[in-house]
Structure 1
């Protein structure tokens, strides 16, 4: 029994073909949208590639770019097919091509759905890449005279100003690294030498942060040095008073930014998937309805269209039996060849009763 069978008149078939032609051209536009979103996401990730340890974070934008490109190609040809399918005579040219086209489009819509899901599952890889990338970037903040690292200071400062954040997990990350270059330290000062000696790793550590961590909305002038020393500043208690530096870590800020971006892109791609699925359903109805018209032989007659000719269970059993029979056929041929390796190749191919005369040995 056919699944979701619908009866179509000639007029309804023509209208369905016209609507699908329009929808396929709209799908070309949605394909361009997916391509643009993937390209935008790739650029946004590449803009901050210095702050990330590359892993699988580029798989999502690459997937969206590929899906968007394929969508434009498939729906362009789909529009041409649906335009011709309004006429039974023109449909006969596409009859053999229709089923492979529908199967390919079905797998393509699955790829669109996969792209939408990947947008929501990217957070873990992104968080790991940001954690390791920001950690290394903070360590190299002071290396402004080393090739390949000279722009990191500017990058991190602009990041902390733009996203109103400080450090990797928070401002205390700056307490654990030497972020002031030795070339700007007076090595003849006893205080600086004592600070170097007080650290096991021989680093110049202090309870201070770069200027980019300062909150410009604070009424008090920025306290970026001796942050945890209450006696160093008048009327100051760093535990009780609201500090005038950003408390949120940059990893959290960037994750929040990318999360919002990925959720928006994922929702858009999910809506495109639903749209593509509706177009695919319409194309399937048009294909089956037009094939039944050719069987009836009367272009003016009514015809039935359906999604599946048999029930889902019957279709699955039929396909499984085809696969099973193919496996048995291959197994029988393999066993026949292995049973007697001395069997003449002509006998194995044609059978004992149908051996070509040319292969029978003659007695002289």
Structure 2
């Protein structure tokens, strides 16, 4: 028994073909939207590539770009097919093409759904990339004279100013690394030498942060050095007073920024996926026109359906076909050497 069978008159078939033609052209536009979203996400990730460790972060934008281009091609072809199917005689051109086209469209629609789910599952990989990437960027912050790293100071400063954040998880991260280059340290100063010697790794560590950590909205001039020393500043209590530094870590800021982008993209892709599901009407058009050809009267009523038999029967028959092909392949590999006529016989059976 056919699944979801619908009876079509000549007028209904023509209207269905026209509606599907319009939907396919709209889907070409949605394909361009997918391509644009993937390109936008790729550019956003590339803009802060120096702040992320090497991870497979570009798999999501690359997939959206690829799916978007394929969508344009598939739906352009679908529009041409549906336009020609208004005329039963022109349908004969596409009769052998329509079933592979429908199967291809089904897998393509599945890829869109996978792309949407990938947008929502990307947060974990992104967080891991940011943890390592920001640590390395902060560690090389002082290397303004080293080729390949001289831009990192500017990158980190702009990040902290733009996203109003400080450090990786907070301002205390700067206390654990030497972020001032030795070039700008006065080695004749006893305090500087003692601080370097007191560190096991010979680093100049201090309770200070770069200027880009300063909160511009604070009424008090920024305290970026000797942050934990109450006596170094007038009317200052480190424990109780609200610091005039950005409270949020840059990892959290970037994670929230990219997560909001990916969730928005994922939502749009899901809507596009739901829209692509509507194109299952092409299957109704195909089966309805094939039944018209069987009856031989272009003006007659015909049945359209998604599956010619029930879902279980269709799965069983397809499984039997695959099983029989497997047996034929086994015969081909074991017995063809003994009888050269077997290959020719098997070919005749398959085709």
Task: Tell me, in whole angstroms, the C-alpha distance in 2 between the residues paired with 1:349 and 1:176.
Answer: 73
The structural deviation recorded for 1:145 is 1.1
TM-score norm. by structure 1 comes to 0.92
Q: CA deviation at 1:228?
A: 1.1
Partner SS state of residue 188, structure 2: coil
Aligned to 2:324: 325
Q: Which residue is equivalent to 1:28? A: 28
Matched, 1:243 2:243: yes
Partner SS, residue 228 of structure 2: coil
Shift of 1:331: 2.5
- Residue in 2 aligned with 1:185? 185
* Pair 1:299 & 2:298 matched: yes
Tell me, in whole angstroms, the C-alpha distance in 1 between the residues paired with 2:93 and 2:246: 68
Matching residue of 1:202: 202
Contact persistence 2:332–2:343 (CA under 8 A)? no
Deviation at 1:344, TM superposition (A): 5.8
Distance 1:84 1:102 in 2: 16
Pick which of 22-31 and 321-330 moved more: 321-330
SS of equivalent to 1:7: strand
Identify the residue that residue 165 of structure 1 maps to in structure 2: 165
- For 2:283 and 2:339, the matched residues in 1 are separated by 50
* Structure 1 unaligned residues grouped into runs of 5+: 352-364
Give yes or no for the alignment of 1:314 onto 2:310. no
Distance 1:4 1:172, change over 3 A: same
Alignment of 1:1-364 (within 5 A): 1-279=1-279, 281-336=280-335, 343=338, 345=340
Shift of 1:269: 0.6
Secondary structure (helix, strand or coil) at the match of 2:55 reads coil
- Call closer, same or farther: CA 1:350–1:221 in 2, change over 3 Å: closer
Larger Rg: 1
Displacement of 1:329 in angstroms is: 2.1
In structure 2, C-alpha distance between the alignment counterparts of 1:101 and 1:276, rounded to whole Å? 14
Contact kept in structure 1, 2:21 and 2:80, CA below 8 Å: yes
Alpha-carbon distance between aligned partners in 2 of 1:275 and 1:26, rounded to the nearest angstrom: 10
Distance 2:344 2:312 in 1: 38
Secondary structure (helix, strand or coil) at the match of 1:94 reads helix
The number of equivalent residue pairs is: 345
> Kindly tell me: are residues 150 and 108 of structure 1, through their superposed partners in 2, closer, same or farther at Cα, counting changes over 3 Å?
same
Measure, in 2, the Cα distance between the counterparts of 1:238 and 1:196. Answer: 24
Give the Cα separation in 1 of the matches to 2:300 and 2:28: 33
Give 1:334 shift.
3.8
- Note the C-alpha offset of 1:330: 2.4
What SS does structure 1 have at the residue aligned with 2:7?
A: strand
In 2, the alpha carbon distance for the partners of 1:246 and 1:264 equals: 27
Partners of 2:3 and 2:307 within 8 A in 1: yes
C-alpha separation in 1, matches of 2:22 and 2:332? 51
CA 1:224–1:307 in 2, change beyond 3 Å: closer, same or farther? same
Q: In the TM superposition, what whole-angstrom CA distance separates every residue of 1:127-147 from its partner, at most 9, and x where no partner exists? A: 111111110000110111111
Taking structure 2 as the reference length, what is the TM-score of the superposition? 0.96
> How much does 1:350 deviate?
8.0
Q: Distance in 2 between matches of 1:59 and 1:330?
A: 36
